[in-house]
A and B are shown apart, each in its own frame.
Chain A
Amino acid sequence: MIPHRAPVGDPEAAIWAALAEVPDPEIPAISVVDLGVIHRVELADDRSTLRVELLPTFIGCPAIEMMREAIGLRLGELGIAERVEVSLTFAEPWTSDRISPAGREQLRSSGFAPPPHLRDLGALGELPTLTMVACPYCGSRETTLENSFGPTLCRAIYHCAACRQPFEAFKPI
């Protein structure tokens, strides 16, 4: 991504541009913004504090601390506020529908099937009707779920019958 230089007097644009440069530690193709984990950004009027609240994708996600640190460092470099505070919140649950359209494309191009949209899956209890996943390599929908638990908490393992490739998909949650 080309670093975005915000015009003087538009700190918010500069903050979001900087956040867009912070990759997800587990899937670096996607940024924390496209992943939808930024809940709120708040710059104090006197610019003493810049507060950022994150929504963890999974409560036990070990990458969240790395994300927090990376965001703190990147925003600190901007020199917009005296202090940067990055915290976690569960004020609303992160859901896989928060991944942006661009983020879904970034996932696909790096070999991860993006999650089905929750609106297509019915009730929460029926969530893992994980049949609606297209192969990220050949696009076929002739895929089967091998394991709804994968190498990280947010990923499931599939197999594509058309191109005979195993692949990972981001879980709908």
Chain B
Amino acid sequence: MTDLDAATREALAELLLTLADDEFVLGFWDSEWTGIAPMLEEDVATSSIAQDEIGHAKAWYELLAELTDDDADRIAYGREPEAYRHAALMNHPRTDWAFTVARRFLYETADAVRLEALSRSSHAGIAGLAAKMRREETYHLLHWSAWMRRLAEGPETRARIVAALERLWPDAEAIFSPLAGEAALVAAGVLPDGLAALRAAWHERTATELHALGLPLPVDDAPAPPEGRTQRTDDFRWLWGEFTSVARADPGASW
């Protein structure tokens, strides 16, 4: 889109970076289950979902690279850990299976709300990608909802899910942390609904789903933390070391 002013383009670049980094980092955390998921079928499923997310990240990075005349691989692998803009939810390691399921549930429901809005974007590239992603994410949502139901049934697994939801909820709010230049994106219709409105829709959705599972809703009404996408942890720095190791071993190599 060439008819956006410089400030809106800058905000758009920031938005695309958050979308890409969320999917990229989560995809890498989940790929850690490959080979050690609770059962073979789940191993295939989690790995497949992780592959979808890395693919979605690639598509967002490519859109960003086109906008900023950069290179998608450079953006994905060529930054220092502090330059990543994923939500704090993705700062945590994979931990146990209940923790992964809880994170996935929070992320998938938030992503569904966000993608629905983006599929109405005035930016054709974003709208097209979001529409396609929604179809793929439908399978993810159903998968993780099935796991939530299953874990909510047993006393031990239920206790673990409740604890994980409480631990992760504040960091999941960061998915809707305000973006610099957000108002310009809303005005241009690139982001059809503001992040605060999306956050409210997400609260409503999770409240309904958790209520149906008989699980407590750990909502607090504080606004999404403004620093929710800039704080990095040692766990993430470790993951960064892993996923950039090949790129750093031979910078600029072609494959």
Contact = CB atoms under 8 A, between A and B. Distances in A.
A95 B142 CA distance: 19
A171 B139 CA distance: 10
Interface stretch (B41-49, B95-103, B181-189): B41-49
Contacts of A153: 48, 51-52, 55, 136
Interface in B126-178: 128-129, 131-136, 138-139, 142-143
Interface in B12-53: 41, 44-45, 47-49, 51-53
A91 to B, nearest CB: 6
Contacts of A92: 128
A70 interface: no
Contacts of A102: none
A151 B47 CA distance: 10
Interface string A89-130: 111111100000000000000000000000000001101100
A91 B44 contact: no
Contacts of A95: 135
A107 to B, nearest CB: 19
Nearest to B27: A60
A59 B128 contact: no
B44 to A, nearest CB: 5
B55 A149 contact: no
The 4 closest A-B pairs by CB, nearest first: A60-B55, A90-B128, A149-B48, A149-B45
A91 B132 CA distance: 9
A49 interface: no
Contacts of A149: 44-45, 47-49, 139, 143
Interface residues of A, number: 27
Contacts of A125: 138
Nearest to A64: B55
27 contacts: A58-B52, A59-B55, A59-B59, A59-B129, A60-B52, A60-B56, A89-B128, A90-B125, A90-B128, A90-B129, A90-B132, A91-B128, A93-B132, A93-B135, A94-B132, A125-B138, A127-B139, A128-B139, A146-B41, A147-B44, A149-B139, A151-B44, A153-B48, A153-B51, A153-B52, A157-B41, A173-B139
Interface SS of B by simple majority: helix
A61 B55 CA distance: 7
Contacts of B52: 58-60, 153
Contacts, number: 78
Interface residues of B, number: 28
Nearest to B52: A60
A59 B128 CA distance: 11
Contacts of A62: 51
A142 to B, nearest CB: 20
B58 interface: yes
Given A149-B44, A150-B44, A124 B55 contact: no
A148 interface: yes
B190 interface: no
Interface in A129-173: 146-151, 153, 157, 171, 173
A60 B61 CA distance: 13
Nearest to B130: A90
Given A93-B131, A148-B142, A149-B143, A58 B136 contact: yes
Given A147-B41, A148-B45, A149-B48, A59 B139 contact: no
